[in-house]
Amino acid sequence: MLEEIKLQPHHHYLIKAKWILPITSPPILEGGIEVGGNKILRLGTFKELQKEFPKFKILNFEHLILMPCLVNAHTHLELSALRFKILSTGSFILWIRSVIKKRETLGLTEMKEYAKRAIDELWREGIGIIGDVGNTGLTLELLNNSNFYGYFFKEVINFKGEFTFKQYQENQFYSPRLKITYSAHSPYTVAPLLIQAIKSFNKKRKKIFSIHCAESKEEVEFLQTGKGPIVALLKEKGQWNESFVCPKLSPVEYLYSLGVLDENTLLVHTVNIDEKDLEIIKKTKAKVCLCPRSNLFTGVGLPKVSEFLKADIEVCLGTDSLASNDKLSVWEELKTLYLFFPHISPETFLKMATFWGAKALGFHNLGAIKENYLVNLIGLKFVEEPPEVPEKIWEFLITKEKEVKVRIYA
Ligand SMILES: [Zn+2]
């Protein structure tokens, strides 16, 4: 059973745990967190803090590991009904065709029902911040009624460039936790002028601009040569744009040439990239979201995690949708990354799943246990006893069987 504790702003609390993992500072054994006004005030060992503040209300989780909530920076909740309905064939184009076809068979009520189940699953997994992309907006009401922080990106798919903006239901669904804006699907499904217009819309409103980028080799081929299966698909769907001139650039270079890369742009996937692309990402400070299990499912390859880290690019994690994943679990993404990149420290992976994810979505007071940050914590119970030395805790966290036992939030 998952226990939920909603803190009262006028109370002072002292939270006790076996381990506290602040993420931005070293783990604390037998740790304590002082909380007041829904914010984190101090961190230390429980003993020290209790001596100073003996009268505070104590929340005792002495058997649990406490850490910040996880961030799933990229998913499409409205596609949740497609779980197990799409085969992994190793061909990206077959996958995309299959998604388009199966999606047409889904009714809105069914899509909403499955999206609701997916939201419940994300909550039980310990996710606190979501980047949700949708074409219908049917998940907005669900997110608005939930305790998640995050973004809803109303995604535009229009290569012909016929599209007009409306202030998307922003007033109808205002929540202090949820930000709502437009995003572009990808460089091969949205016309260049429209990509620029969506970026400019977001820039004016200080919102994040999200776009899938450099996911498949077919996307690279399309932008480099103007040929390949994507041309056929666009023509078939009546989306071919006669005025489109092949840029003869990589996807990252192309978006850079359109002037849409900066620290408030979130590039999703970025699997098929080279040294030059890495330099552009670094120079523009664009954010990167990796979805490794989705990449394995669609057969596009694995992201160049070591290269990103070597270039000091802080990447975050997403699951993408249940059309290319069997779970919306950031824990599973972490396990996969650690399996394929065992030379990278597990601590860095945890940072991707929390602090860097919150930063990428513009939540600068979440994703870590730090003074003045908002309280949004998860408490984990493990089948095995946790190690008592900090060096071993990160690997333990990723690889061992666990359950989110408590969620503490304001
Ligand atoms: Zn996606």
pLDDT digits (tens, 9 = 90+) for 344-383: 999 999 999 999 999 999 999 999 999 999 999 999 999 9
Q: What's the pLDDT score for residue 55?
A: 83
Q: How many whole angstroms from 319 Cα to the centroid of ligand 1?
A: 8
Q: What is the CATH number of the domain that holds 195?
A: 3.20.20.140
**Percentage of the chain surpassing pLDDT 70?**
98
Same structural domain, 341 and 242: yes
Segment 256-263 shows an average pLDDT of: 98
Look at residues 360, 380, 398 and tell me which one is the last residue of a structural domain: 360
Q: How many whole angstroms from 15 Cα to the centroid of ligand 1?
A: 37
Same structural domain, 47 and 118: no
Smallest CA-to-CA distance from 129 within 290, 394, 365, 402 is with 365
Q: What's the pLDDT score for residue 176?
A: 81
Q: How many whole angstroms from 186 Cα to the centroid of ligand 1?
A: 9
Same structural domain, 402 and 355: no
When mean pLDDT is compared across 120-129, 155-164, 311-320, 354-363, the lowest value belongs to: 155-164
The answer to whether the pTM exceeds 0.75 is yes
Mean pLDDT of all residues belonging to the chain: 95
Q: What's the pLDDT score for residue 174?
A: 67
Q: What's the pLDDT score for residue 168?
A: 53
Same structural domain, 179 and 41: no
Q: How many whole angstroms from 117 Cα to the centroid of ligand 1?
A: 19
Q: How many whole angstroms from 108 Cα to the centroid of ligand 1?
A: 19
Q: How many whole angstroms from 74 Cα to the centroid of ligand 1?
A: 6
Q: Count how many domains the chain has.
A: 2
Q: How many whole angstroms from 82 Cα to the centroid of ligand 1?
A: 13
Q: Which two tokens stand for residue 363?
A: 């939540």
Q: How many whole angstroms from 189 Cα to the centroid of ligand 1?
A: 13
Q: What is the CATH number of the domain that holds 44?
A: 2.30.40.10
Same structural domain, 47 and 97: no
Please identify which residue in the block is written with the tokens 């498949």: 216
Same structural domain, 219 and 166: yes
Q: How confident is the model at residue 8 (pLDDT cuts 50, 70, 90)?
A: very high
pLDDT tens for each residue of 270-312: 999 999 999 999 999 999 999 999 999 999 999 999 999 999 9
Q: How many whole angstroms from 244 Cα to the centroid of ligand 1?
A: 24
CB-based neighbours (< 5 A) of ligand 1, an ion: 320
Look at residues 320, 344, 360 and tell me which one is the last residue of a structural domain: 360
Q: Which structural domain range is residue 170 located in?
A: 70-360
Q: How many whole angstroms from 193 Cα to the centroid of ligand 1?
A: 21
Same structural domain, 42 and 167: no
Segment 43-57 shows an average pLDDT of: 91
Q: How many whole angstroms from 49 Cα to the centroid of ligand 1?
A: 44
Same structural domain, 137 and 265: yes
Same structural domain, 246 and 111: yes
Q: How many whole angstroms from 203 Cα to the centroid of ligand 1?
A: 21
Look at residues 360, 383, 401 and tell me which one is the last residue of a structural domain: 360
Angle value at C-alpha 292, between 285 and 191, nearest 5 degrees? 55
Q: How many whole angstroms from 36 Cα to the centroid of ligand 1?
A: 38
**33 has a pLDDT exceeding 80:** yes
**167 has a pLDDT exceeding 60:** no
Same structural domain, 220 and 316: yes
**104 has a pLDDT exceeding 90:** yes
Cα–Cα dist 328/348, whole Å: 20
Q: Which two tokens stand for residue 26?
A: 């070293």
Q: How confident is the model at residue 171 (pLDDT cuts 50, 70, 90)?
A: low
Q: How many whole angstroms from 188 Cα to the centroid of ligand 1?
A: 14
Q: What's the pLDDT score for residue 172?
A: 59
**184 has a pLDDT exceeding 90:** yes
Q: How many whole angstroms from 4 Cα to the centroid of ligand 1?
A: 30
**323 has a pLDDT exceeding 60:** yes
388 by Cβ neighbours in 10 Å (0-12 / 13-18 / 19+) ranks as: exposed
Segment 150-164 shows an average pLDDT of: 90
Same structural domain, 75 and 56: no
**165 has a pLDDT exceeding 90:** no
Q: What's the pLDDT score for residue 54?
A: 80
Same structural domain, 13 and 119: no
Q: How many whole angstroms from 202 Cα to the centroid of ligand 1?
A: 19
